[in-house]
Amino acid sequence: MSKFYFNEEQDFYDAIVVGTGISGGWAAKELCENGLKTLVLERGKMVEHIKDYTTAHLDDWDFPNGGKLTREQKAQQLKQTRTGRINNADVNNWFVNDLKHPYTETKPFDWVRGYHVGGRSIMWGRHSYRWSEIDFEANAKDGHGVDWPVRYKDIAPWYDKVETYIGVSGENLGLEQLPDGQFLPMMEHNCVEQHFRDGVGKNMDGRVVTAGRIAHITGDKKFEGRTKCQFRNRCTRGCPFGGYFSSNSSTLPAAERTGNMTLRVDSIVSEVIYDPNTKKASGVKVIDSLTKEEFIFKSKVVFLCASSMASASILLQSKSDRFPNGLGNDSDQVGRNVMDHHLGTGANGTIDGFDDKYYKGRRPGGIYIPRFKNLGGTSNSKDYIRGYGYQGSASRKNWKDAVAELTMGEPLKEAILKPGGWTMGVGGFGEILPYQDNRMFLDYDKLDEWGLPTVNFDAEIRDNEHKMREDMVNQAADMLKKAGFKDIKARNGKYNMGHGIHEMGTARMGKDPKTSVLNAHNQIHAVPNVYITDGAFMASASCVNPSLTYMAFTARAANHAAQELKKGNL
């Protein structure tokens, strides 16, 4: 076990944080900076920033098999490779072995996991968007799910704090459905993306094309221990420059600098321990993943940040006389309302001209098209509710696209030396409604190697999402056409729940303990010293990437916990 970040272990702490990803890192930072002695538990291996990014400077030809997974490697990750995101050996190291960490599927669910310090903050897509008042009001207005106990004004200061700290490049637009933020300079469009932006703005009223708002450092602002993005686009290998935000490069080192953090790896939390006398949690039970030895660590407050499905699993495993169906599960909502963002829809096309235009560097983000449907007036659809956005990019074709029609000899040599024509694609990200019977549950007949129950998923998209997908395809093709593109090919591919890697729900916020698990400050209604700030707390999904919202809510909840502890309320 690495000693990096470690303080000497003890039996009792002010706070325990379970998980080291996007949410766990922020919980650790805020709790430690508030003076709380904090134990941070990670079920996977140690990953030390820079030192353990062993493939960061390698090219595909430096890997066996040209960087592609072998049959043996694919066999160990049959479920995760369905997404297409884990087909290269350079990132394979970050994703769990499906055979070692099994789960079952009543309905298909693509559960992508990384068990190591930093979690998926090393591999995330880094798109960072604020929710709007429209999102927080949606459940109450259309009757799906439960009303959020907070509104945009409650979270806006915490969005400010998080954006300022992590560094988000982007452009303020003045849109109600996509609030402005504290942005570093926007990453520039290439010439064809700018052409698309101009064409959509001119020909399609009310639609805006901008650059993706991504958690990459641009401009001259200084960030401790990090430097600006190098435009290598090898982000999923781990960034030795700290050019993008991760727990490893940012929040965990900040927590360490306080001297208040103890980090313990290879530590699987199997249960939150409930004390019936105090009606609070007294700590957690931990299984050492290597030795299988059990430990109990006690604390005044517990933060579950293990990921939406893992945190729900811990709650369901935490049974007692008071909570026979799992900690905080009086409402029977733990494990329910599983959400994601559905994707695989969109269109691509080619465009003439711009043959004298080139670009350099490998920009880690492309364009973003904010939601433009069901915002009122003529934007409303009679077929579905909620909405969607798009991400996309333009690039010059690879020379291979032209070689298929060439023979050997001089024409082939010339083709290799010339860049191809321009192509552009846009792909939709749509909101999934919070259906109560979209759920995960524990299977005690199928245990993992640590004797814990495995997860079974029973969730799927419904009629509302299918009708939305049809519109997402048609609108993508229409935008390309009206912006002057040709050879347009629309797509509506297969989608499994989880494929968007934005799992949400399972322990939702709400005003009523009878219909929700958490209150407005992310506390379990009946056990106020347990906070959950990963995707489990989400009461709806919006259509934007959720990580920025997780971070904002986590920072807010951690500061709330620190103040409540100082007041003697926890």
More confident residue, 80 or 275: 275
Q: Does position 405 have pLDDT exceeding 50, yes or no?
A: no
CA atoms of 183 and 197, how far apart (whole Å)? 20
Q: What is the pLDDT of residue 399?
A: 44
The pLDDT of residue 176 is above 80:
yes
Rg for the chain (alpha carbons), in Å?
Answer: 24
Q: What distance in Å separates the CA atoms of residue 17 and residue 5, rounded to the nearest whole number?
A: 14
pLDDT at 547 over 70: yes
Which comes out higher in pLDDT, residue 49 or 403? 49
The pLDDT value recorded for residue 413 is 60
Does residue 409 surpass a pLDDT of 80? Answer: no
Q: What is the pTM of this model?
A: 0.95
Count of beta carbons in the 10 Å neighbourhood of residue 269: 25
Give pLDDT, residue 145: 97
**Statement: residue 400 has pLDDT above 50:** no
CATH architecture, range 1-54+93-168+237-335+436-458+505-570: 3-Layer(bba) Sandwich (3.50)
Region 157-185: mean pLDDT is 98
Q: What is the rounded distance in angstroms from the CA atom of residue 481 to the CA atom of residue 175?
A: 25
Q: How is residue 561 written in tokens?
A: 């916990």
Three-state secondary-structure class, residue 287:
strand
Mean pLDDT over each residue of the chain, to the nearest integer? 93
Residue 5 in this model has a pLDDT that exceeds 60: no
pLDDT at 9: 73
Domain boundaries, the chain: 1-54+93-168+237-335+436-458+505-570, 170-212+341-431+461-496
Q: How far apart are CA 329 and CA 351, in angstroms?
A: 55
pLDDT reading at 180 higher than 60: yes
d(CA 342, CA 108): 13
**Is the distance from CB of 569 to CB of 176 less than 8 angstroms?**
no
